[in-house]
Chains A and B, each alone.
Chain A
């Protein structure tokens, strides 16, 4: 048993900063997308990343996920760099995070059930009955019914795809959940339900969220901290009020517009 315990704690380290990006230089071809970019997500917080369309938010998330190798700089998730030579450490870090892609990225050949069960089966250590229970619990959490479980992704509505993808991202009870535009394409009711869902889940067990969004209501309701990406780097980072007081054209437009006033005066 002790050998077993060791192999586990070897690869899983407890860190206060779950995502750490320092002095990132990120080029696509010759085009510099990020320069001197510093960014962090702390354990247990909801960090919202905002920025204009095309400012490179999705690309930053891809770098953090290890899908794209940065040209220079440091990227660590759970204290592990993606170029770490230890396969076990990298894999353990991957199992501690869940990702909701902008367009869902469900496996099209798998049913809803198989999509959600997939990460559980890959991780191992659970029998089929437990997997089934978790899958149906996750589906219930995102307000999908058991009768949807055997549908293929092609026969789901856009909003359902989002919810299944969220259920899949949550399947491993991740310590870091990355959401790229989670409420885009959902009706206002579902957006609110989504906010409530994340809040409730975070009250049950604490996990960090890195969220990319344009939706001021979602941002206002969930965020602990906000980072603003513009001019190739993070121009401001902090609580909503701190960020709003930073003088920058993008921040004034984003928070100061009519929609911004509505979202922030209502509270």
Chain B
């Protein structure tokens, strides 16, 4: 299979302006054209300058043609008066020249793009609210239905979720909690030492950890770990049409997939934040001993007096709400994923951002509502 070079020869007809015959021969394939691209570009430019009329193209010498070659020729042939071509290649040339004619709408610069964007964001927000409310309502209905038919209760999924979001999150969450406890205690100890108010460190660390930091840390890590996984799982199930398959089998998607996730995280997160509290307090005890010389026994004895037990329950209660919010937001975004990979990636990102935001908003609300307690 010898490859002939792509060749093009221009035969001037006698007499000025009488025109020319152009003989094309050889292999007109992408590989062959690439070898001679500079020469061919020069010839194409040359042909552009000729008067459009009286060019005869003789393509009968072509030994091989592919799309790249056909498009090259089709572009030059636009000014041809007469074309001789092997019928074998006729269809390909016609298709290439028709392909050149198709218009593509180019996205120009829209002066109103900003307005459109804001409007779209507003509409999107409205859709989120609407769909979120619908999902919440559906969950409540599912919960009612499930309590009437316990056979339908997704117990297996629930326990799997508690394990995944709870037990397996403990190492990383407790490590972070311990380190935050260390940093918080160290910084407050430095300040308090100057005023001689050493023992106050127990109040600050105790309240801060039990009421705020424990639940907040646990739920932010849960948003990153479990929330993103939930969105991705539901999103992939949408991409592979598993969600549709479930609905066709008459299985409620919310009851089977969303409910166990939401309940699971609402159950797991208080336990995780309890463990985080302990780890953070351990960090506090260690640093209080090292910097202020407060013995662990003294620290633990003073703790219940410094921190009313209601603070602990507020922390646990908040964790339940945070867990619910993180899983709910994650599932909401997961179910909105469109069946393509871009939408999946965007959905996971938005889900994590939105659930962290939701947790912090909720925390602010709790802080205002419970400002007189504890």
Interface residues in A134-150 by Cβ distance below 8 A to B read: 134-138, 140-141, 146, 149
- Complex Cα distance A204/B93, Å? 11
What string of 1s and 0s marks CB contacts (under 8 Å) between A5-18 and chain B?
Answer: 10010001010000
Among listed A51-59, A123-131, A176-184, A249-257, interface-contacting one: A123-131
Output the residue of B95, B338, B343 with the most chain A CB within 10 A: B95
Give the residue of B34, B38, B95 whose beta carbon is less than 8 angstroms from that of A137: B95
- Interface flag for B137 (CB, 8 Å): no
Q: Would you call A152 an interface residue if the criterion is a C-beta within 8 Å of the partner chain's C-beta atoms?
A: yes
What's the minimum C-beta distance from A80 to chain B, rounded to whole angstroms? 16
Tell me, in angstroms, the Cα distance from A203 to B97 when the chains sit together.
Answer: 19
Q: How large is the interface on B (under 10, 10 to 19, 20 to 34, 35 or more residues)?
A: 35 or more
The interface residues of chain A, by DSSP majority, are classed as helix
Contact B91 A205 (CB under 8 A): no
Q: How many of chain A's residues have a CB under 8 angstroms from any CB in B? A: 37
Q: Which residue of the partner chain B has the closest CB to A129?
A: B100
Q: Which residues of chain B are within 8 angstroms of A137 by Cβ–Cβ distance?
A: 67, 70-71, 92, 95-96, 98-99
A152 to B338, CA, bound (A): 11
Docked pose: A154 CA to B29 CA in angstroms: 34
Inter-subunit contact A108/B340 (CB<8 Å): yes
**What 4 pairs across the A-B complex have the smallest Cβ distances?**
A173-B66, A133-B99, A136-B99, A108-B340
B residues lining the A interface (CB < 8 Å): 1, 3, 29-31, 34-39, 64-68, 70-72, 74-75, 88-89, 91-92, 95-100, 102, 104, 239, 338-343
Query: Contacts A133-B97, A135-B99, A205-B29 given; 20 further ones with Cβ under 8 A?
Result: A1-B36, A107-B341, A108-B239, A108-B341, A113-B104, A129-B75, A132-B99, A132-B100, A132-B104, A137-B70, A137-B95, A137-B96, A137-B99, A138-B67, A146-B102, A152-B340, A173-B67, A204-B65, A204-B89, A204-B91
- 23 A-B Cβ contacts within 8 A? A1-B39, A8-B34, A14-B3, A108-B340, A125-B30, A130-B68, A130-B71, A130-B72, A132-B102, A133-B71, A133-B74, A134-B68, A134-B99, A136-B98, A136-B102, A137-B95, A137-B98, A138-B67, A140-B98, A152-B340, A153-B340, A154-B338, A200-B91
Chain A residues close to B by CB (< 8 Å): 1, 4-5, 8, 12, 14, 43, 107-109, 113, 123, 125-126, 129-130, 132-138, 140-141, 146, 149, 152-154, 171-173, 200, 203-205
